[in-house]
Structure 1
Amino acid sequence: MSMSLGPLLLVFVLGLVVIPPTLAENERYKKFLTQHYDAHPGGRDDRYCNKIMDERELTSPCKEVNTFVHDTKNNIKAICGEKGSPYGDDLRISNNPFQVTTCKHSGGSPRPPCEYRASKGFRYIVIGCEDGWPVHFDESIINA
């Protein structure tokens, strides 16, 4: 039985065209999770910030400010859909506040070891989404 390579080659080439954006999108989402997601924080104090910033490799150089959202991935992702509203240009704001911890570099050298101060609370969060996936944390707004 003889089979033409034409259809297989076409499927392979189409796969090369379609797969890279999906992989890149997943990489941006994974980076978002690494930088801003921590479902089960321990302490949420200065020691927590120093530890998680180091573990997540956000200290070379010392990142000035970074916020961690403490909720489920699905609840955060839902901001890109029905649980969020348009905000500014191409951003979404959560309809409800989220528990967050913001870690701020407390000065000194931009090189490790980095020292951070923690602030915690419930805040509306503003994120950037691509194809329904969170890929950028923009800011958090204090729930007044």
Structure 2
Amino acid sequence: MTKHNLLRMDNVGIVVESLDETISFFLELGLELEGRAMIEGEWAGRVTGLGNQSVEIAMMVTPDGNSRLELSRFINPKVIADHRNAPVNALGYLRVMFAVADIDDTLVRLYKRGAQLVEEVVQYQDSYRLCYIRGPEGILIGLAEPLK
């Protein structure tokens, strides 16, 4: 048996322009703001390969405490690419999927925060109701309601 050192997936990171708007959206979805901080200096750039950097981050956590979403707003260096409106069959980051208790109620609340349904809510067998939405800044988010 091979021994692995993996403990868990710590977080998924998304770079945004408006940290406040994106935090509000994910708070409405049901995540909690675990913390917000500036990450600055050459030491951080040694991790990312970006040199001397200045980034404001917000760590969002799911109610069960098991999953995190790191939102980052780069101040320096400036953002050089934008993949937010890529279709679901584009290479690279695709989407973050959240399980919700009531997909219809969740959509009503997120529409008030600017969410747009990508196509429609569909049912997969007797297992899930599913949809994709575009959240703040076009971030692609999946919602899945487990069926009892």
Q: Same fold (TM over 0.5)?
A: no
Shorter-chain-normalised TM-score: which range?
under 0.3
Higher helix share: 1
Larger radius of gyration: 1
TM-score, scaled to structure 2: 0.25
TM-score, scaled to structure 1: 0.26
Name which structure has the greater RCO, CA cutoff 8 Å, separation 6+.
1
